[in-house]
Amino acid sequence: MKILVSALEHSANIHLKSLKKELSDSVEFIGIFDAQLGSPIVDLRSLAVMGFVDVLKKLFYFFKLNTQMADLAEKADKILLIDSSGFNLPLAKKIKKRFPNKEIIYYILPQAWAWKKRRIPVLEKTIDHLASILPFEKDYYSKTAPITYVGHPLLDIIPRYKNHLNETVKKIVFMPGSRKGEIKKLMPVFKKVREKLGIEATIIIPTHFTQEDILQVYGDLKGFIIVHDTYKTLYEADFAFICSGTATLEAALIGIPFVLSYIANPIDYFIASRLVKLNHIGLSNIMFRKFNERDLHPEFIQKAVTADNLIKAYKGLDRGTFLNDSKALRAYLQHGSSKNVANLLEKSV
């Protein structure tokens, strides 16, 4: 069976790798995905963009790639779209128009509950199976929508969770993101935090970065221990400073207390602040507040991202309460995402 896969983001491919383990050997991926999973039509590094401004610069390239994927759909038995709604939703509409009988599964849905709620009727009409990874997401759709909560994929991937914390903080880890733009913005602040705390500091760097990339993007890393294994490092550390994104939810589930920081391009932030009607940007905070009336962790964005603010939050965070809250969040999300989506892909229509 051939499955047309559209997985543009690094985080999407982490979940795709977990999903592939649950599929039979007869399943073949075609389309856009990590080269470790087959023979994709494009190098994922060429797709890395950050925010609205970067997307505009590569708009023609993405239009061409979208058409190429729609053409490829003719060879596929089923379609699997993962995250990246700006690319995948137009692709789904194009495929459904040309091949109305092709079954489309959308895994890790567009956050239409946060912004652009008008997308919900489009998703219900276009997608055959909406595989939700958030328990509350289905409440925003109609009662007849083809949506199923499949569990959260990170709980299938993370190998170990903290059950207790050290009495004192001895190891701190910094995760300034995976995109070059966000890393460059956060590193000056993170370096100041490390200097002021004067404690052993580890920095997690994506494996695809070359030595030249590291020097250009991170600058001088004196005082940092460079590592690449996210889960092992988070599990062994006592506290973390993390850029907004999937990493914050990973940390929340593992049980390492952390502070979220994010500095967006000013134009991107201006646009997003008028489109997104949320009081938080951290997904773990958004989910935690579905069953609790307080935040799981501190958040700082734009000008609030200063060394003094981050250190103050670090000193004021109740680490014991955080660990208990982390366990509650894991229970809320449940397990089984990869296996459930594999069943959707392999069952007969």
Q: pLDDT tens digit string along 179-212? A: 888 999 999 999 999 999 988 899 999 888 899 9
Tell me the per-residue pLDDT of 43-63, one tens digit each, with 9 for 90 and over. Answer: 887 776 555 456 666 788 889
How far apart CA 20 and CA 318 sit, in angstroms, is 39
My answer on whether 295 and 341 are in the same domain is no
State the Cα–Cα distance between residues 109 and 106, nearest whole angstrom.
6
**One-letter identity of residue 120:** I
Q: Is the pLDDT of residue 330 over 90?
A: yes
Segment 111-146, tens digit of pLDDT: 887 767 888 999 999 999 999 999 999 999 999 999
Q: Is residue 268 exposed (0-12), middle (13-18) or buried (19+ Cβ within 10 Å)? A: middle
- Identify the three-state secondary structure at position 224: strand
Domain check: are 126 and 201 in the same one? no
Range with lowest mean pLDDT among 60-64, 83-87, 264-268, 302-306: 264-268
DSSP E strand boundaries for 228-329: 239-243, 258-262, 299-301
Which pLDDT does position 347 carry in this prediction?
Answer: 83
Question: Is the pLDDT confidence value at 278 over 70?
Answer: no
Q: What angle do CA 215, 172, 199 make, to 5 degrees?
A: 90
Comparing C-alpha atoms, which of 211, 294, 285 is closest to residue 242?
285
User: Do both 203 and 296 map to the same domain?
Assistant: yes
* Together in a domain, 180 and 314: yes
State whether 138 and 210 are in the same domain.
Answer: no
Could you give the CA distance from residue 164 to residue 257 in angstroms, rounded to a whole number? 11
Based on the domain organization, do 176 and 322 belong to the same domain?
yes
Q: Same structural domain for residues 218 and 261?
A: yes
- Give residue 30's Cα distance to chain centre: 22
Q: What is the mean pLDDT of residues 263-272?
A: 68
* 50 and 112, same domain (yes or no): yes
pLDDT at residue 272 is higher than 90 = no
Q: What percent of the chain has pLDDT over 90?
A: 75
Task: Compute how many other C-beta atoms are within 10 angstroms of the C-beta atom of residue 102.
Answer: 18
Tell me whether residue 84 is in a domain: yes
Residues 43 and 110 in one domain: yes
Query: How far lies 4's CA from each of 108, 246, 267, 315, 349, in Å?
Result: 16, 24, 34, 48, 16
pLDDT at residue number 199 = 86
* Residue-wise pLDDT tens digits, 66-81: 999 999 999 999 999 9
What are the E-state strand segments in 133-291? 147-149, 171-175, 200-204, 224-227, 239-243, 258-262
The pLDDT value given to residue 26: 93
pLDDT at 310 over 90: yes
Structure tokens, 9: 């983001």
Reported as a pLDDT band with limits 50, 70 and 90, residue 219 is: very high
Sorting pLDDT into bands at 50, 70 and 90, what band is 254?
very high
**β-bridge partners, 5:** 31, 80
* For residues 312-333, average pLDDT: 95
Q: How far apart are CA 52 and CA 261, in angstroms?
A: 19
The helix or strand, by DSSP H or E, that contains position 30, with its residue range, turns out to be strand 28-32
Task: Residue 94: give the domain boundaries.
Answer: 2-152+335-346
Please state the rounded mean pLDDT for residues 20-32.
Answer: 95
Return the percentage of the chain with pLDDT > 70, whole number.
93
Number of domains in the chain: 2
**Residue 266 placed within a domain:** yes
Q: 67 versus 335: which is more confidently predicted?
A: 67
Residue 188 shares a structural domain with residue 256: yes
Specify whether 6 is located in the same domain as 99: yes
Q: Look up residue 23 and give its DSSP letter.
A: S
What pLDDT, on the 0 to 100 scale, is given for residue 273?
A: 60
Asked, for residue 163, whether it belongs to a domain, the answer is no
Neighbouring residues of 207: CB distance < 8 A, sequence distance ≥ 6? 228
Do 316 and 341 belong together in one domain?
no
Residue 56's CB is within 10 A of a number of other CB atoms, namely 10
* Residue 349 banded pLDDT, cuts 50, 70, 90: very low
**Is the model's pLDDT at 275 over the cut of 90?**
no
Residue at 193 is within a domain: yes
Q: What is the overall mean pLDDT for the chain?
A: 90
| Residue 166 included in any domain | no
Measuring CA to CA, how many Å separate 34 from each of 143, 230, 341? 35, 18, 18
Give the pLDDT confidence score for residue 53 in this predicted structure.
52
Average pLDDT over residues 258-276: 73
Q: Which residue has the tokens 């089923």?
A: 78
Answer whether residue 304 shows pLDDT above 70.
yes
CATH (domain of 188) = 3.40.50.2000
For residue 108, tell me if it sits in a domain. Answer: yes
Residue 261 lies in a domain: yes
Question: Concatenated DSSP letters for 234-257?
Answer: HHH-SEEEEESSHHHHHHHHHT--
- Taking the C-alpha atoms of residue 252 and residue 25, their distance in angstroms, rounded to an integer, is 34
Contact 105, 128 (CB under 8 A): yes
Residue pair 217/209 in contact by the 8 Å Cβ criterion: yes
- Block residue for tokens 């208990």: 324
* Residue 157 in domain: no
DSSP string, 98-129: H-TTSEEEEES---TTTS-TTHHHHHHHH-SE
